[in-house]
Structure 1
Amino acid sequence: MKTNLKKISQLYTNMTLPVKASMWYLACSVLQKAIGFLTTPIFTRVMGTSDFGVVSMYNSWEAILTVLCTLYLYNGVYNNAMIEYKSDKDGFTSSMQTLTTILSLIVFSVLFVFYRQLADVIGLSKPIMLLMMIDIVFSAGMSFWSIRNRYEYKYKSVAVFTILSSLLMPALSVILVLNSAEHKAEARILGTVITHVIVYGIVYFLNLTRGKKAVDLKYWKYGIKFNLPLIPHYLSSTIMTQSDRVLINTLCGSSAAGIYSISTNVTSIMNIVTVSINQAVTPWIYEMLEAKKMKEIGKNVYKIVSLVGVGFVLTSFIVPEVIGVLAPSEYKSAIWATPPLLIGMFMYFIYCNFGNVEIYFHKQNAMLFSSVTVAVINIILDYILIQKYGYIAASYATMVSYYIYAGLHYMFMSRVCKEKKVENPFNASVIIVMTIVFSVLIMCPALFYRVVLLRYSILAVLCIICLLWAIKNRDFILQLISKKRV
C-alpha cells in the first residue's frame, strides 16, 4: 500500500506544470458539478416545486443576463490581451472588471425601470433581481481572476477558492432554507450570493488593488470591439439551454419549471462525461487535421460516439430511479421529459466533432449563424408546443433543435472541407444511421418505466453485451481514458 502511494506521489511530482494545472482545474470543475448534483435531493425535499422553480428561473435568467452584463469579456478577448498587454496584465484585468460592473449596473437599471412591463416574463421579484446583479458583478471578478491564474498555471489558489466556495455555498443555503418558513427560494438564492460576496469579494478587490487601473478607455475599447461581435453567438448558445425553463415558467408556472429542471439535472450527469471526453479528443482531432489523416478521424470518432451513445442508453434505463433519488414524488413526471433531453445532449456531443473541424479552419461565422438560427427555432418550437401540450413538450423542442443544430454544422463542415480541398472526415450516411439508432434506443426505455422487472432484465442483458465489447476494445478505451492518442 505504501509502495503504491509512493509511486502515485512520485508520478504526480514528475508531472509538468501544465498537466498538473489541467488536472486540478478538471477536478475542481467535477467537484462543483458533483456537489450541485448531490445536494439536489436535499433541496427538493425541503423546498416545494414552486420554490424550486423560482431558483431554476433565477439560474436561467442569470445565465442570460450575464452575457449582456459582462459581454463575456473574460473569454476570447481576455486570452488575447494576456499576450498583447502582457506588460500590464493587472491593469487590463482591473479595467475589464470595472467595465463589467458598470455594464451590470446599466443593464439592471434598465430592467428596474421597465420592471412592470417585464415582470410577467421575468417571473422574479425585485429583491431577487437585486441579488442577481450583485452575484453577476462578483462572479465576473472571480472569472477574470481564475482565468488569469489558469493562463499562468497558478492552479493552487484557484483550487482553494473553488473548493471553499463549493463547500460553503450549499451548507449556508441549506441552513437558510431550513430556517425560512415562507421564502425558501429567496433563502437558497441568498445563500449563494452571500458565499460569492465573501469568497469572490476577496478576489474582486484583489483585482482592483493589484491593477490600480479601474478605468482605461483604451482597454475598454479593445475589449468591446473584440467581443461585441461574438455576443449573438454567446447569447444564442445560452438561450438554447435556458429558454425552455423561462417559457415554461411564463406559460405553465414556476412549479412546472421546477419539475422540468429536475430532468435537466439528470442530463447534467452525462454532460460531465461528454465534456471530459470532448476535451480529451479535441487535441487529437487537431493533430489528425494537421496531418490530413481524415479517415483516422472518422474511424475513431465513430467508436467514441458509439461508446457515448451506449452511456446515454444505459442512463435512460435508470431515469425513474435517478429522479426518485433526486426528488420526492411531486417531481415524478420529470421522467417523461428526460429521454428527449438525453437525445439532445447526445446530438450536441456529435456536433462538437463537426465544430472542432470548423474551429480548426477558423470558420467561426458558420458557428454564429448556426447558433442564432437554432436559438430562434428553439424559442418558436417551445412557445408553440408548450402552449399546446404542456411543459414536457419543451424537451422534444430541445431534441428537435439539436437535430437541426448538428445538421447545420455538418453542412458547414462539409463546405469547409470542400473549400480547403480536404476529405470530409465524417460520412453523412454513417452519422444519420448512428443518430437514428441511438435516438430510438434512448427513447425505448421510456416504454418500460412502469415495468421495473422487464426494464432491469433488458438492462442486465445490455450491460453484459457492453462488458464483452469493452473487453474486446479495452486498448482503445484505456487510451481514451488516459487521454493518449486514440
Structure 2
Amino acid sequence: MGKKSLLRNSAIYSTIMLLQKGINFFLIPILTIYLTPFDYGIVAVVMAINTFLNVFYLLALNGSLNRFYYEFKEDEGLVKRFFGTIVTFVLFNSFIVSAIIFLGRRWLLEPFLVDVEFFPYMFLGLISVIFNPCYLIYQNSLQARQEGVRYGKNNIAFFVFNMVLLLVGVIVFDLGAKGVLGALAITNIVFFVYTLFSFKKDLIFGIDKKILRKAIKYSFPVIPHTLAGVATSLIDRLLINKILSTSLAGIYSIGNNFGAVVFLLASGINQAFVPWFNQKIKENSTERIPEISRFLIVIYCLIALGLSFFGREIILLITPKAYHKSWIVIPFISFAYVYHGVYYFFASSLFYDIQGRGNRIIPVATILSALLNILLNLVFIPLYDILGAALATFLSKLFLTIFLSFVHNKYLNVGYPIRYMLLAPLGFFTISLLSYSWEFSLPFLLFKALIFILVLSVSYSVFKSDIRKYLTEIKLFN
C-alpha cells in the first residue's frame, strides 16, 4: 500500500466515521423538537441494546477479513470461499440468534427495556441488527482490498438514505421514536439486498469448515474486548433507564452527544495516526511521535473545555426546555473522551508489538474498565442522577488510560511524556468545573469566555512553534 493510498483511505475512513457518528450531534435541534425526552430515551435504549447484540451476531468475524485476506489473496478462489464462508455463517448465526432472542425476550431483553415496549420499538431494532451484519462484512472486505473510494460511496449512500427516511418519518408523519427506528430498519433491509447483489461476484456461498475454524480461532479472543468496549460506552443509558427513567436516558443522551464530539475527533485522528505511527516505528524514526501526541492532547482538551464552558448555552438555545438539564454531564463526558484519546496513543504501542503480547494486555484493561464502569454506575446513578453516570464514565476512562500508561512501554517505548499526558487533561478538566459555579447569566457567560480566551492564549504561546511548523508542512501526518 503506497503512502498516497494510505493517507487517502485514512482520510476517507475518518471523514465517513465523523459524518455518520456526528449526525447525532447535528440533528439535535431537529429531533428534540419532534421527539419527547421519552422518545429520545426509547431510541437511546434500543440502539444501546442493538450495539450489544451486534457483537453476538458478528462474533468479531468481520475483523478477520483484514487478517486473512492478505494470507489468501494470491488465490482468487480461496478468497471467494473465505468471503462466502464468513457471509454464510454470519447469515445463519444472525437468524439463530434472532430466534433465541425473540423467543426468550422476557428474560433476555425485557429486564433492560423497562418502560420501552418490545413491539414496535425493540422489534424494529431487531430487524436492523438482523440485516446489518452482512453489509458490515461487505464494507470490511472493501477495506481489506483497499477500495477506500467504493467504501466511502457506500457509506455516504447508506447515510443519506437513512437520513431522508428518518426526517420524513419524524417530521412529515410525526412517528416519533418509531420514525427513527423504522428508518434505520428499512435502510438496513435495502442495503442488505444491495450487499447480496454487489458482493455475490466476490464470494462463493457455503461454509468451508477449515476456513471457518481459522477465522473463529482468530476472532473469538477479540469478543470479550469488544463487549467490554461496548459496555463502557453504552451501559450507562441502560442503567439510567432501569434505575431512573426512560426520559432521563433520553436527556442524558443529548448531553452525551455533545461530549462525544471529542470522541469523534480523537477517533478520526486515530485512524490516520495509527498507520503514520506504524510507518515511523518501522523507519525507526520516533522523535515526532511524542511531539504530535502532546499537541493533539491540547487540541482535545481545548475542545472539551469549550464544550464544557458553552455547552449549557448551546443546549438552552437549540433544544426545548425539557432537555435543558442535559448540559450538566458535558464536562465529565467530554473529558472522559479526552482520556480515551490519550488511551489511543498508548494502545498504538501495544497493538504494534509483533509478538502479540501487547494485544493480550488491552482486553484485560478494557474488561477491568468495563467492570469498574458498571459498578460505578450502579453506585453513582442513585446518588447523583444522570451526573452519576457521567462521573462513572470519566473515572473508568481515566482508569483505562492510567492502566495502559504503566504497561505500554514494556513492549514498545517511543518516549511518550506520560506525566504530561495524564495530568494535562486533569488540569483542563479542573478549569472546566467552573461551569458549575453559577446559574446561567450574561456576566457568567462573559467570565467563561474570558477564561477560555486566556487558556487559549497560553496554549498558543506554548505550542506556537509547533503550530507554525504544522502550517508550513500543510498536513499533520507526513
TM-score by length of 2: 0.89
In 2, the alpha carbon distance for the partners of 1:210 and 1:290 equals 33
**Paired residue for 1:269?**
261
1:69 aligns with 2:57: yes
In 2, the alpha carbon distance for the partners of 1:273 and 1:133 equals 30
Comparing 66-75 and 141-150, the one that deviates more: 141-150
Query: Is contact 2:260–2:337 with CA below 8 Å preserved after alignment?
Result: no
**Paired residue for 2:113?**
122
Query: Is contact 1:248–1:256 with CA below 8 Å preserved after alignment?
Result: yes
In 2, the alpha carbon distance for the partners of 1:355 and 1:116 equals 39
**Paired residue for 2:170?**
177
Q: 1:432 to 1:81 in 2, by over 3 A?
A: closer
1:348 aligns with 2:340: yes
What secondary structure, in the 3-state scheme, does the structure 1 residue paired with 2:151 have?
A: helix
In 2, the alpha carbon distance for the partners of 1:163 and 1:248 equals 33
Q: How far has the Cα of 1:264 moved from its partner?
A: 1.4
AA paired with 1:212?
I
Query: Is contact 1:320–1:449 with CA below 8 Å preserved after alignment?
Result: no
Alignment of 1:300-315 (within 5 A): 300-315=292-307
What secondary structure, in the 3-state scheme, does the structure 2 residue paired with 1:317 have?
A: helix
Query: Is contact 1:94–1:212 with CA below 8 Å preserved after alignment?
Result: yes
Q: 1:146 to 1:47 in 2, by over 3 A?
A: same
Comparing 391-400 and 153-162, the one that deviates more: 153-162
Query: Is contact 2:42–2:121 with CA below 8 Å preserved after alignment?
Result: no
1:242 aligns with 2:234: yes
1:101 aligns with 2:91: yes
1:160 aligns with 2:153: yes
Question: What 5-or-longer segments of structure 2 have no aligned partner?
Answer: none
Alignment of 1:145-224 (within 5 A): 145-178=138-171, 180=173, 184-208=176-200, 210-224=202-216
Comparing 287-296 and 370-379, the one that deviates more: 287-296
Q: How far has the Cα of 1:188 moved from its partner?
A: 1.6
- CA offsets, 1:21-47, max 9 Å, x none? 443333333332343432222111111
**Paired residue for 1:454?**
444
1:406 aligns with 2:393: no
Alignment of 1:310-329 (within 5 A): 310-329=302-321
Q: 1:289 to 1:159 in 2, by over 3 A?
A: closer
**Paired residue for 1:385?**
380
AA paired with 1:366?
I
Q: 1:81 to 1:296 in 2, by over 3 A?
A: closer
In 2, the alpha carbon distance for the partners of 1:160 and 1:416 equals 38
What secondary structure, in the 3-state scheme, does the structure 1 residue paired with 2:386 have?
A: coil
Q: How far has the Cα of 1:247 moved from its partner?
A: 0.6
Q: 1:22 to 1:430 in 2, by over 3 A?
A: closer
Query: Is contact 1:354–1:410 with CA below 8 Å preserved after alignment?
Result: yes
AA paired with 2:199?
N
Question: What 5-or-longer segments of structure 1 have no aligned partner?
Answer: 1-14
Q: 1:480 to 1:97 in 2, by over 3 A?
A: farther
Query: Is contact 2:134–2:192 with CA below 8 Å preserved after alignment?
Result: yes
In 2, the alpha carbon distance for the partners of 1:190 and 1:174 equals 11
Equivalent of 1:229, from 215, 221, 231? 221
1:132 aligns with 2:88: no
In 2, the alpha carbon distance for the partners of 1:128 and 1:276 equals 31
- CA offsets, 1:183-229, max 9 Å, x none? 52122201111122123421134334542323332332222111011
1:33 aligns with 2:24: no
Comparing 60-69 and 166-175, the one that deviates more: 166-175
In 2, the alpha carbon distance for the partners of 1:161 and 1:95 equals 23
AA paired with 1:335?
W
Q: How far has the Cα of 1:171 moved from its partner?
A: 1.9
Equivalent of 1:78, from 65, 70, 78? 65
TM-score by length of 1: 0.87
Query: Is contact 1:90–1:207 with CA below 8 Å preserved after alignment?
Result: no
Comparing 211-220 and 283-292, the one that deviates more: 283-292
Q: How far has the Cα of 1:479 moved from its partner?
A: 6.6
In 2, the alpha carbon distance for the partners of 1:480 and 1:40 equals 36
Query: Is contact 1:70–1:100 with CA below 8 Å preserved after alignment?
Result: yes
Q: 1:333 to 1:205 in 2, by over 3 A?
A: same
Alignment of 1:414-429 (within 5 A): 414-416=409-411, 425-429=415-419
What secondary structure, in the 3-state scheme, does the structure 1 residue paired with 2:187 have?
A: helix
- CA offsets, 1:241-282, max 9 Å, x none? 000001111111210100000011102322222223333433
- CA offsets, 1:308-352, max 9 Å, x none? 212211221111133235532111111111111111101111111
Equivalent of 1:45, from 14, 33, 38? 33
Equivalent of 1:60, from 27, 40, 48? 48
In 2, the alpha carbon distance for the partners of 1:465 and 1:250 equals 40
